Structure formats: C-alpha cells, structure tokens
Structure 1
Amino acid sequence: MIDYDCDMDSPPPQTPLDPLLRALSGGLAAVKAYHPSRLPAPLDEEIRHGLTALRHLEPAQRGAALARIDGYARGVLSSFCARAAMIGARERDPAWIRDALLALLYTTDPAEPEARRGFFMDLAVIRRAAALTGLDDQVLRDALGLAPTPEVAELIALFLQWTPSQRAPESHDMRELRSKRGVVWVPSNRPPPRDW
C-alpha cells in the first residue's frame, strides 16, 4: 500500500545521537580549530549536551553508536577529553571528569596501536584531574559499565592494574603545567596553546 501522505523530501528522523554527531562534525579543520581554543569554549558545552545520549544508551546500542563516530569525530572527542579534564580540575567539578571519561570510551579502536596510545594518554590525564578534584580510581571503575565494547572496557581494566607511576601522565609523555588560568596538560615536546 502506498502512503500518499509521506513527504519524500522530508529529512530522515532525528536520533538521540544527532546533537553529538553535529558537535563533532567538521573533519580535520574542526579538530585543529577546537583543540587549542580557549578553555572553556562553547563547543565544550555543546559536546557535553550531546554526551547525554551516550549516557542513556542500552548496552546493546553502544557498539552501534561507536561505529557512527568516525575518525575525525573521534579526534574532536579526544580533544574534549583533555579539555574537560582540565576544566574539571580547575573548577573542582567531578561532572566534567565523568564527562571526560564517558567521551573517552568512544575515542578509540582497541585494535589500532596508535589509538591505544592516545587512549592511555587521555586516561592518565583524566585520572590525574580526577585526583585534583577529590575523586579516586573508583570513578574509572564506574566507567567500565558504560564501555561501548568489551575491548574498550578491557583497556580501562588493564590501566587500573598498572602501578601508580605507570598511570601518571608523565609515563605517557604528558607534562603538567600551571598557566594563569589553571592546570594544563600537554605533550612533553609542545608548549600549551596560548588560550589555555
């Protein structure tokens, strides 16, 4: 039976993940522009708003959500992890730390060695930021239940088995600095962006 009321030109129905995917769009140019932008930036809040959809996914839906976040979108999300950790530490706000952890779960393909390296680097920064905010490693254990795949959960479990020094940002080539605006983590061979 033909539905004559159907508008062929109407946009596809919205999904709960669409606001997050819009916030993460823009490709390489978006990654390059967002990462060094002023802390906090409007996009930080836009991404946080979009993360609400990830927090409410059923376990069976999480893998499909991970598949919808492409490489450049993962780059923006990875930048958000570091930025949210810094904002959380500066404001002593655990909600930013939890959002950084949730975002981190959707930034990696565990099969890619370089992606794993970035995942552990971000996780080390988030863990340090959590400590500055008064949280302990339980916040990382809590994130295990939100992982989109068992492989991502295994990465966090592996990290938690390491010694404290192995979990420190310095062990992942990151250094902690203080700017006039607050704490900053940057790769050891790079200066912090001017607006951090």
Structure 2
Amino acid sequence: MTGELIVTIVRHGDTFEMGEPPRRIGARTDLPLVANGLAQARALGAAFAGETFDRVLAAPLQRTRATAEAILADRMGAPDLSTADWLTEIDHGPDEGQREEDVLARIGHAALDAWDSAARAPDGWIVDAERRLAGWRALWAQGAGRVLIVTSNGAARFALLSDAGLQRQAAALPSLKLRTGAYGTIVREAGALRLLGWDQRP
C-alpha cells in the first residue's frame, strides 16, 4: 500500500421522473435512469473532465452502469468498466418498492435517522455490512492511482465506516447519505485516508 490513491465515489443518477413519488428501491429493482438522471451523469462527466481514472468500478445494476458509462462517454482511452457485487444497493426487505411515507409509517423516523447517521439498518432490511466493509478495505489497500466508483446510497456510506480515521472525519457530516448525482472523494496519503468532500453535486 504505497503512493497516493484518489477514490471518487458517485451515486447513480435519478430513477424517478420529476414529481413522481419516491420509493425505496434496492437490489431487487433494476430501474434505468430517467432523462434527468442521465443529465446528472453527464454533468458529473463534465465536472471530472480534467481527471484521468486508472480504474472504474460500478455496481452491476443498470442505473449504476449507465451513470458510469455516461461519465466516461467522451473520454479517450478510458479504462474498461468493471462491476462489483459488493457495491450493489441493499435489499430493503418489506420496504422494497414502497413509497417513502409508507416506509416511515412502518419503521419510524428514528430508525431512518439511525440508518442515515450510523448505517444501522432498520428491521427487515438486508445490508450485509461486513461484506461491504471488506470491499472498501480491500480498495484502500490497493496500489496508487485514481479510481472512479459508481454505486448506490446504501453501499456508498460504508466507505465512511470502513476506517477509523474516516469515521472520525465523517462524524462532522450531517448525514452519511449521498444524493442522486452526487459524489464524495477520499484520498490515501502516506497510508492515511482523508475525506476531501461528501455529497457534492456539480
């Protein structure tokens, strides 16, 4: 584990049209990007235009792959897109596909707050936290370079919990959540991980 590693973590673009009631969508619901989601992905591509990525990883769902492909679309010599199951969205169990108001009625605001502040999963959700933490830790241990990750809100937050130093830095954030079309950046310098930003949009 030597040299500087820069990891840009992106949440996929929108999968619901403007004005459409949001629903809890996870690993069992493979939705495509809507027009605004594609526009978000293109905006990310423009924002990252001056950056060269050595590796690109995405969850295998179409919303994450399409976001990554749009970011890379106008790049000459971009690396091939690879997929990783540990980046896939969580399974929302009985709340999969349900409207947000119905999810809140079942689990309550306190449970949702615990998920967004500490990644403590509500009853019935299938998160597989240890596998996700292991995936992020293996990433931090790789060689130097720039890596683009395109994933989901449920998977991205475990990056912040995978290292004690990142946990301390993330404690200052209002939430572990990434909005659609938003990104965060984590850098490894001299063996230490540093959070440069989180939940930023172009």
Category of TM-score, reference length = shorter chain:
under 0.3
Higher strand share: 2
Higher helix share: 1
Higher relative contact order (CA 8 A, sep 6+): 2
